[in-house]
A = this chain, B = another copy of it.
């Protein structure tokens, strides 16, 4: 039985002995993910939504969770936020000016930017610069999301904690694209001809982003040295049009053996949607997850990472540096 009078919030050093004021959150980017993040933040007892910002003129004044969307971070900075959740760009160079604007206002940054999940892979200089700026601002910056950020990187890495030795890691994320919103379907080429699909690939900014980041994340965390290769192929239906995509990233070690294999499968009518992790080592582990809807999970982990980031040291962080991010029970009070 619990000790009489035990208050759940008081759990050693993890949560301050005194109830703290709610963390004040500014959401930057009022697209589908940002708007959902704002709603979730507003519903949490331990967080307080103090502003929503979007550069799109069409969104100015729009009511989200009781607040009007503003055009400029300077507007809401008056509200003295603690943390910005930035849901704008997939590429780090596009995100960086917003991160810097937040840091200059003393805001910690959680972002769903795919490249920020492991920024050291594609943008080492920019990552080092942002790290230095975050440290000098005394703020933390972290990229998260369900993929990249959780299912194909942080979760397999966490599972590896119960292995005495890793020989190989394989992760499959398989989705029925028909259950996802239209922008997702467009991003993976649903309805295109194969030629149009390949044209879009060549033009860039197409297909699922972040598989390379996930591969680099796992390799760095687990001490694997090697090189990353990526491939993709369209999944074509009987009528010859594209139903979706299969993408793969591999980390090949010094002697040419593929040690990490990440496969992303997303097409209309996928027969077996699931997330599956196999760690071949001591012991051999197999983990299967069902039910992870990408949009819900991404907005959730962005909100849940706010608290975890607040407990990490300043600087550019990854999900490897944070204490465990945690969901909240319905009706959970402030700690």
A-to-B contact residues, CB < 8 Å:
1-3, 6-15, 40, 43, 46, 119-121, 124, 127-128, 131, 146, 150-151, 154-155, 157-167, 216, 219-229, 259, 279, 281-293, 296-301, 303-305, 311-313, 315-330, 332-333, 335
Interface of A is mostly: mixed
Taking a contact as CB atoms under 8 Å apart, the answer to whether B2 and A157 are in contact is no
**Known contacts A292-B283, A300-B164; A220/B8 CB under 8 A:** yes
Taking a contact as CB atoms under 8 Å apart, the answer to whether A316 and B166 are in contact is no
Bound Cα distance A224, B1 (Å): 15
Residues on the B chain within 8 Å of A221, using CB: 14, 324, 326
Question: Lowest 6 A-B CB distances belong to which pairs?
Answer: A223-B332, A160-B327, A162-B297, A161-B325, A164-B300, A163-B327
Bound Cα distance A296, B162 (Å): 8
Measured CB to CB, the nearest residue on chain B to A43 is: B165
Q: List 5 A-B contacts (CB under 8 A).
A: A8-B223, A13-B120, A13-B128, A159-B289, A166-B329
- Give min CB distance, A168 to chain B, whole Å: 9
Measured CB to CB, the nearest residue on chain B to A15 is: B220
Q: Name the contact of A161 in the complex, choosing from B119, B288, B293, B304 (C-beta under 8 A).
A: B304
Measured CB to CB, the nearest residue on chain B to A127 is: B12
Residues on the B chain within 8 Å of A164, using CB: 40, 296, 299-300, 303, 327
Taking a contact as CB atoms under 8 Å apart, the answer to whether A161 and B324 are in contact is yes
Residues on the B chain within 8 Å of A159, using CB: 155, 289
- Give min CB distance, A186 to chain B, whole Å: 23
Residues on the B chain within 8 Å of A298, using CB: 162
Bound Cα distance A64, B14 (Å): 36
- Give min CB distance, A31 to chain B, whole Å: 17
Residues on the B chain within 8 Å of A216, using CB: 2
Taking a contact as CB atoms under 8 Å apart, the answer to whether A161 and B329 are in contact is no
